[in-house]
Amino acid sequence: MKPRSALATAVALALVTFTAPAVAAPDPQEWESVLDAADGQTVYWNAWGGDARTNRYIAWVAEQMQESYGVRVEHVKLDDTSSAVARVLGEQQAGNDSEGSIDLIWINGENFAAMREQDLLFGPFAESLPNFALTYPDENPEVVTDFTLPTEGYESPWGKAQITFYYDSAQTDTPPQSIEALLAWAKEHPGQFSYPRIPDFTGSTLLKQALIELTDQDETLYAPVEDADFEEITAPLWAYLDELHPHLWRSGRSFPESGPNLRTLMSDGELSLAFSFYPTDAAVAVMEYELPESVRSYVLEGGTLGNVHFVAIPYNSPHKAGAMALANFLLSPEAQAQKQSLSMWGDRSVLAIQQLEPSDQALFEQGESHPAALPADALSQTLAEPHPSWMNALQDAWLERYGVN
């Protein structure tokens, strides 16, 4: 996510529109009408494009949508979701309420909150998708909650993420099991750990993980940041980072740009400990010869931060039927199993797999687990995301303290 000044610039540049005629959105509850209207539409899906695995999965989805539904999917690759949010906001300010340039956005909590606040989303639609029932939301409330906020049908889940550490077992026998232990480890192994530069999402998530562990103000973190004493609550975090940074890669004078960049540094032998927001990231990288076979994955003893990621439809999308058809396909057992496969992406499913039909459950069977992957029960302790306002506040404060380096 960009700093606010960059977001403002993006808004100023976001007044480009498409000339295709707007098509009225069919009622999401009339699903056959949705599919009829979707046939022949082109869906412009704005989604992060910074990782080859994600991109190849979206390319596979595009092939399936064209073949099965007559819907063309164009992946508009983003390096920052806030740029898409800014574009929709710019279109709204320009009075473009029906011919927007974005039909679907891969979205996260703070951007969802911003778009809901500005009435930039179409909905409710998610609970009307036929495949949404396969998430069993009454038993899995995380599929209807985003960074503490009820989604209310304005975004549809399509994957799960959780901070997962990975290390080269040929270089270290005892990786750190907590945020505090990470500091001690970094001092003993200078230059062998880092985190992505803020406002990268993965780096920002580590800040939240550290804040949760270093403060006893847990309840406060799940309420709007303006209701809290931000300086007092975050003081332990900044003290921790001040002590940690000199022991990071390049002595904390610069930071990798993203999670995939961390993986590259690990591959090059510059790091021996890294982390990802995708639990299978290391296993897939070992399978694809990007990381050595000695790499292993683990989570911290007290659990790690995790969330569900969603897709949403801007209020002014001219192809809402196609976008709904795409969101529904993303929730199909076929698409979810393909996404979870280590040979495709390795992103965890949001479906209640054990409650699917046996034939659909079989789609998720991947044989023996990979030695670099986590044990099946390793992600049972998931820490909930704080209120979305904390992420923006932490990013701004980090940039003020360390962004000039």
Q: Which domains does the chain carry?
A: 4-159+308-369 (3.40.190.10), 162-306+383-402 (3.40.190.10)
Gap between the Cα atoms of 376 and 151, Å rounded: 28
Residue 88 has pLDDT above 80, yes or no: yes
234 has a pLDDT exceeding 50: yes
Residue 10: pLDDT band (50, 70, 90) is very low
- Predicted model pTM: 0.88
Q: CA dihedral defined by 337, 138, 204, 15, rounded to 10 degrees?
A: 80
**Average pLDDT in the chain:** 91
Which of 20-29, 152-161, 328-337, 348-357 shows the lowest per-residue confidence on average (mean pLDDT)?
20-29
Contacts of 184 (CB under 8 A, 6+ apart): 176
Go through 67-104 and write b for each residue having 16 or more CB atoms within 10 A of its CB, e for each that does not.
eebebebebbebebbbbbbbbbbbbbeeebeebbbbbb
- Please choose, from the candidates 153, 154, 187, 221, the residue with its C-alpha nearest in 3D space to the C-alpha of residue 384: 221
Percent of the chain with pLDDT over 90: 83
Cα 326-332-335 angle, rounded to 5 deg? 80
pLDDT band at 366 (very low <50, low <70, confident <90, very high): confident
pLDDT at 22 over 50: no
Instruction: Examine the pLDDT at 381 and tell me if it is beyond 90.
Output: no
Place 223 in a pLDDT band, splitting at 50, 70 and 90. very high
Bridge partners (DSSP) of residue 73 are 43
User: Is pLDDT above 90 for 4?
Assistant: no
CA atoms within 13 A on the CB side of 343: 6
Which pLDDT score is estimated for 292?
94
Torsion angle (degrees, nearest 10) of CA 50, 54, 55, 60: -170
Note the pLDDT of residue 405: 52
Give residues with Cβ within 8 angstroms of 28, minimum separation 6. 34, 124, 125, 128, 129, 324
Q: How many CB atoms lie within 10 A of CB 250?
A: 13
Element (H, E) at 242: helix 230-244
* Three-class DSSP category at 145: strand
pLDDT at 7: 40
Q: How far apart are CA 358 and CA 354, in angstroms?
A: 9
What single letter denotes the amino acid at residue 195? Y
367 — pLDDT class (breaks 50, 70, 90): low
What average pLDDT does range 372-378 have in this prediction?
A: 83
pLDDT tier, 63 (very low <50, low <70, confident <90, very high otherwise): very high
Give the number of other Cβ atoms within 10 Å of residue 228's Cβ.
Answer: 19
**Whole-number pLDDT of residue 404:** 65
Is the pLDDT at 125 greater than 80, yes or no? yes
Residue 173's pLDDT band, with cuts at 50, 70 and 90, is confident
First-last CA distance in the chain: 19
Of the chain, the percentage scoring pLDDT greater than 70 comes to 93
C-alpha–C-alpha distance, residues 342 and 288, integer Å: 10
CA angle 386, 50, 242 (to 5 degrees): 50
Find the mean pLDDT for residues 337-342.
Answer: 94
User: In this structure, what is the dihedral angle of CA atoms 58, 318, 107, 328, given to the nearest 10 degrees?
Assistant: -60
Pick the most confident of 9-13, 18-22, 244-248, 303-307: 244-248
Q: Tell me phi and psi for residue 164, to 5 degrees.
A: -135, 125
pLDDT at position 140 is 94
